[in-house]
Structures are given as structure tokens and as C-alpha cells.
Amino acid sequence: MLSLKTAAWLRTLVRRMGPVATDAGSATGDSRTDMSGRTQSVLRAFFGGGGGRAGLRIDPGGWLKSVRTSRARESTMPLSEERLTLTLDGGVEGIWDCNLADRSIWISERWLARLGYAVDAIEARQPLDHIVHAEDRERLTLAMVAHARGLAPTYECEHRVVCRDGTSFWVLTRGRVVERNGAGKALRAVGTQIDISHRREAEARVEYLALHDDLTGLPNRRLLRQRLDRAVMRARNGRFTAAVLACDLDGFKAVNDTLGHSAGDRLLRIVADRLSGAVGSGNTVARLGGDEFALVLEGLEGPHQADAVAKHVIAVLCAPIEIDGMVVEIGVGIGAVMVPNEGITADDLLRRADIALYEAKTTGRDTYRRFEPALAARHSARYLLAFDMKDAIRRGDFYLVYQPVIDLAAETVTSFEALMRWRHPERGLISPMEFIPVAEETGLIVALGAWALAEACREAMAWPGEIRVAVNVSTVQFQHDLERSVSNALDGAGLSADRLNLEVTESALMRDPEGVVATLHRLRARGVRIALDDFGTGYSSLSYLRRFPFDKIKIDRAFIKDIAEPDAAAIVRAVVGLGERLGMSIVAEGGETAEQLDLVRSEGCDEVQGFLFSRPLPANEVQAFLRSRRMSAAA
């Protein structure tokens, strides 16, 4: 028979089931005869409704089992019991009752079935550790201990449960201690368990996508950083020697350009496979974008092992690759850095690896260099900028501003010169005078310049048809298919070629006069106009004017600044005379004062560009500037 004390305890238990059963359930006692004919007293606590009632039954041996009775027998069921039964019948939620002393656990009927156990089997009372995934036990225990010690009002943990057949799935376990001994020690906890495997799978998928490269399935930059953080921490504990290898393919662009992008993609996948094979398991191979990869090698005995892996990687990637029946050969430059044990950020590690890579690339094809502090000291500022620049291109931190060029006779705007700006997340605005040379040195100007062309042409489409856009092109772009970048930009924007001016400097003509002049002729044949920029700075300028019939000469602002002085004025006058004879119009750069403007006009310049009229404007202010000029002309 059920004692009063036990009945009260059961009611308390039912009340404490927390979110599932908020009201007190019922508790009764009765007796039954077992198989051997003995009479046993049985304790029951019921929660339930609907088609039947679910509950706990404590048999004389102390076993708690779930039981079910028919609705007909228990017709006056409270609403809370009905809700609980419905929940339990739904099968997505289970109830558990854990003896904290021996860690044995009772689990409700449907949930036991979900775990693959027979409901009435004696094994219904499982040791807790059997059903919790081995990797999650410590976490679960810690959460339970924190709650048992009163540090958390309830206890909650996401973990995996192991089914009888060995498979596992994710659950959210919530519970609370319902019984303590006189000394306050937690003896028993009860609670619920919800299947969250679908949510976990979706989360895992999202996480996978966020941390992996689409094309190759390799870890991406974010995951690489996480792995680097781990390697740095281990190195700090003196446990592991690790190295980071930055790899940049040679010859990838040629494959992409000649065989097409899908061949390029296949090549990258083959490279990914070869790299993964070359470094073996336990190490990380990541794709950082384009043809850049990075490796994190862990558990090394010393730098010599990193050197050996790097040489092996070079050998593996140099082996011919067959794509679409064509045999292609690529190479790779590798820069490595050992993870120091004094603590370093992942970004600094990557920077150092990049410095070494840059050194390797400038030494020659298929070269490997390991970072040394002397390297950084030699090049640090520039390299750091180059490193940041790669990220900035990806993030879109570059933008263009537009400075108007004014026709001196008509006082109207003829064009805008697109000038690049870089808003660095830490350093703020960086001048093109600082970053363009670095971009040229590292080859990043090719991508950056193509972007500027495309962006400027796109922007110019919004302007009145008579206004042209001028874009600066660097010498390096000539060696990397400038014509294609120009065509892509014009076609992409739908801009007519005669609205595009390209500004080139004398240095472009110095490096490869024949090649550059031929390119300029072809571009001009398409209708693009060509200006010689910064005229008068440095070189034996006049000879270049004979090599190519430029449309415009832009006199460097150094001469305009000093135009009040006889020497500078004489040079400006000579250039204007030259322009007239060669049929080239003359632009004065850097007109800042009304006095300079008068002199520039009296010396015979055709156009002027300078702060006097306007500083370079953000794209969205161009139209307003044009309107205000038109209004002041009309007034």
C-alpha cells in the first residue's frame, strides 16, 4: 500500500517535472501478483490523458517503469496530465529519472523505444553512461554538477545519446535535482530529453558551408584561422611544433585563360587532392581563394620536416596534370613559417608565411623559402600592406572617386578621372601613392586595375553621354592582357569605347616600348582615347611622344604648382607647343589657385584639373556637380 509520505513525494516529483508537468499529478498505491504468485505493492504516479495515461511505476525492487492505463479507468485526469501524455506519445520528447548515486537512469516508454530498447525489458533502467555519447559525458556531468551545487537553477545540455544499435543522435537534456539527502547532497534528478538531431544537422551543414571552400571542399580561410589558433595554443604549451606553408600556384592563370574556367576549376580540385595526399591526415590543407592554398603541419619534430614537406609538395604539384585530354604543367611557390612558442596571432603567422612566399616567388618558379626575421625587417611595411591588400580586394574595401576635368575655353566638364581609394579597417584611408606601387610590385594591380576599369565604366553609364571617364592603368597591366580587361569593362557596362580615356605613364613605355605601343594602337583602333599622364616627371619624355600619337598630354602638377616661376612656365609653354604640333590636347594637372588658372590659360592649355574646381568626388556626387556647373554656366 502506498504510504502517505510516499504519495506526497510522488506528487512533489510530478510537480517538479518542470516545463512538462506544471501541475501536480496523481499518486496512488496498489498491489498485484507477479508470475511467481507473490503479491507486490506498486507505487504509481500518473500524468496523462488522451488515449491513455503514462506514468512511473516503482516496483518493489526499486525499479521505476513506465506504465500506461486506459482512459476508461482514469477518467478524471487533470489537464496537465493530458498534456504530458500527449507530449510523451509524440515521441519527440522523453522523460528521464536519474539516480545520481549509482548513475542509473529510468527512461519513459516512447523514448526508450526511440533509443531502440524494448519497453518492458529489465534493461529499461540503463546506467547513464551507456546512453550518453562518450565524448559528451564530461560536458553533461559538468552541467549536472554545476546545477547540483546550486550554481544553476536548472540544468541543460545538448549532447548525443547512443541507441542500442550503436548509432547516436543529438538531444537537448533539461532537468533539475528533485531529491537531496540531509547534508544537501543531490540524490536524484528528473527531466526531459528532446530530439534536436534535425536542428543539429542543419547547423552542421551551415557550419560546414561557412568553413569550407565550395569548389574543393577544403577548409577555407576562416577554418584555417581556427586551426592556426589551435596550433598557436599548442605551441605555447610547448606541446607541438607546427608550421604554416603558404602556397601560390604558377601557371594557373594560363590554364584558366586558354582552357576555360571549368578546366581551371578541375585543375584546382586536382591540386587540392594532391596537396591533401602530400601532407597526410592530421594536417590542414586550406584554399584561401584563387590559386592560393595554405597548409598547417602539426606534430613536427623541427623545421627540417617542414622543409621536407614543402619540397615534396613542389614535386607532387609539378607532375603533369591531364585535363580534357590536354597535359598541363603548373608549378608552386611556397613560403613557410614555424609557429613560435612565444604566442602570435593567426593573422601574423599568415603574414610571415606570405612574406616568405613573396621571397620565394621573386626568386623563381617552384621555389621554397622559410621565414626569417631578417626578411620581415627588410620588407615589413610593404609586405604587410600587400598582405592586407589581398583581404581588402576580397572584402571590397577599395572604391573610386572622380575628379572633373574642365575645358578651359568652354568652362564645361569634359570628363572625370577615376582615382582609387582604399579604406583600411585599421589605418583608415591609404593614399594610392602608397598602395599602387605595392600593388604593382605584387601583381595585385592586375585584379585591382581590372576592377577599377569595370567600376568606372559602369559608373560612367549613369552620366550624360558627352562626359567621358578616365582610368589610370599601370605598366604591369600591359603585361597581363590589358585589352581583355578593357573589353570586359566596356562590354560589361555597355559603355561606348569613345567615352573611355586611359591614362598611361612614361614608365609603361620604357619597359616594353614595342609591346605597349602595339597594345595602345589596338585599343585606340577600338575607339578608346589614350593620355600620357604625369608628363615631365623624370624621364626623357620627348622621345615617347614620337613613339605613340597620344590624344592628350597631362602636364604633371609639379609644373603647374610652380607655373608662376619662369622655368616652369617655359616648360609648360614648350609642352603646349609640342602638343599643338603633334595634334595632342594639353591638360594641366593640379590647378589650385585662380592665379595658376590664369597662367595655365594664358600658356594655351586646353583643359585643367585641380582642387580649384573640385577635389575628387564620391560617385554619388558626380551628377550634382554637373548640375551645379550647368546652373552656374547658365547664370
Residues engaged in binding Mg ion (CB under 5 A): 472, 503, 533-534, 589
Choose the contact partner of 590 out of ligand C2E, Mg ion, none; CB within 5 to 8 A by kind. Answer: ligand C2E
CB 94 within 8 A of CB 192: yes
Percent helix, strand and coil across the chain, each to the nearest 5: 45, 30, 25
d(CA 453, CA 456): 5
DSSP summary character for residue 397:
-
E-state strands within 311-456: 321-323, 326-328, 331-338, 368-370, 398-407, 413-424, 428-430
Smallest distance, Å, CB 584 to Mg ion?
Answer: 15
Query: Is there a contact between 213 and 131 (Cβ–Cβ < 8 Å)?
Result: no
Q: 536 is in the binding site of which of Mg ion, ligand C2E, none (Cβ under 5 to 8 A by kind)?
A: none
**Minimum distance of Mg ion from residue 403's CB (angstroms):** 9
- CB of 110 or CB of 557, closer to ligand C2E: 557
For 82, left (φ over 0), alpha (ψ -120 to 50), or beta? Answer: alpha
Pick 223 or 452: Cβ nearer ligand C2E: 452
Work out how close the CB of 352 gets to Mg ion at its nearest, in angstroms, rounded to a whole number.
35
In the complex with ligand C2E, the residue whose CB is nearer, 330 or 386, is 386
- Report the alpha-carbon distance of residue 574 to residue 545 in Å, rounded: 13
616 binds, among ligand C2E, Mg ion, none (CB under 5 to 8 A by kind): ligand C2E
Nearer to Mg ion, 355 or 456 (CB): 456
Of 250 and 388, the one with the shorter C-beta distance to ligand C2E is 388
Instruction: For the CB of residue 401, give the shortest distance to ligand C2E in the complex, in Å.
Output: 7
Return the residue nearest Mg ion (CB atom).
503
415 touches, from Mg ion, ligand C2E, none (C-beta below 5 to 8 Å by class):
none
Of 142, 190, 195, 208, which is closest to residue 167 (Cα–Cα)? 195
What own/partner pairs with CB < 8 Å and gap ≥ 24 does 510-517 have? 510/539, 511/475, 512/478, 512/479, 513/547, 515/478, 515/479, 516/475, 516/478, 517/547, 517/548
- The CB-of-619 to ligand C2E minimum distance in angstroms stands at 14
Q: How far is the CB of 528 from ligand C2E (least distance, A)?
A: 16
Give all strands of the β-sheet with 155-162 in edge-to-edge order. Answer: 125-127, 104-107, 93-99, 186-195, 168-180, 155-162
The residue (of 594 and 634) whose beta carbon lies closer to ligand C2E is 594
Report the interhelical angle of 513-525 vs 482-493 (nearest 10°): 20
**Choice between 403 and 442, CB closer to ligand C2E:** 403
| Cα–Cα distance for residue pair 536/580, rounded to 1 Å | 17
Reading the block at residue 432, the C-alpha cell is 594610392
Q: Which does 438 bind (CB under 5 to 8 A by kind): ligand C2E, Mg ion, none?
A: none
DSSP per residue, 446-504:
HHHHHHHHHHHHHHHTTS-TT-EEEEE--HHHHTT-HHHHHHHHHHHHT--GGGEEEEE
From residue 216, alpha-carbon distances to 267, 270, 358 in Å are 10, 9, 24
Number of residues assigned to the chain:
635
354 or 503: CB nearest Mg ion: 503
Q: Given the rule CB under 6 A, which residues bind ligand C2E?
A: 403, 419-420, 431-433, 436, 449, 452, 472-474, 503, 533-534, 557, 589-592, 609-611, 616
**Shortest Å, Cβ 570 to ligand C2E:** 21
459-481 as b/e: b if 16+ CB within 10 A: bbeebeeebbbbbbbbbbbbbbb
Which residues are paired to 300 by β-bridges? 241
For the CB of residue 421, give the shortest distance to Mg ion in the complex, in Å. Answer: 14
Closer CB to ligand C2E, 175 or 590, in the complex: 590
* Residue 542: Cβ within 10 Å count: 11
By beta-carbon proximity to Mg ion, the closer residue of 109 and 503 is 503
CB of residue 510 vs ligand C2E: minimum separation in angstroms?
15
Residue 436 contact, options Mg ion, ligand C2E, none, Cβ 5-8 Å cut-off depending on partner type = ligand C2E
- Residue placing its CB nearer to Mg ion in the complex, 226 or 537: 537
Q: What is the DSSP string of 543-572?
A: HHHHHS--SEEEE-HHHHHTTTSHHHHHHH
Structural contact between residues 504 and 520, judged by C-beta atoms closer than 8 angstroms: yes
414 vs 472 by CB, closer to Mg ion: 472
- Give the Cα separation of 481 and 500 in Å (integer): 17
Q: Considering the complex, what minimum distance in angstroms separates the CB of residue 392 from ligand C2E?
A: 14
Nearest distance, CB of residue 526 and ligand C2E, angstroms: 20
Binding partner of residue 543 among ligand C2E, Mg ion, none, CB cut-off 5 to 8 Å per kind: none
CA atoms in the 13 A half-sphere facing the CB of 259: 20
431 contact, one of ligand C2E, Mg ion, none, CB 5-8 Å limit per kind: ligand C2E
State the nearest-atom distance from the C-beta of 576 to ligand C2E, in Å: 18
18 Ramachandran zone, left/alpha/beta (phi>0; psi -120 to 50): left
Q: Shortest approach of Mg ion to residue 554 CB, angstroms? A: 5
Q: Which spans in 247-286 are helix H?
A: 252-259, 261-279
114: three-class secondary structure by DSSP = helix
Nearest CB to Mg ion, comparing residues 136 and 503: 503
Cβ-based nearer residue to ligand C2E, 81 or 534: 534
Task: Write down the least CB distance from residue 266 to ligand C2E, Å.
Answer: 33
Quote the least distance from Cβ 603 to ligand C2E, whole Å. 17
Give the nearer residue to ligand C2E in terms of CB position, either 195 or 533. 533
3-state SS class at 307: helix
Q: Pick from ligand C2E, Mg ion, none: which does 607 bind, CB < 5 to 8 A by kind?
A: none
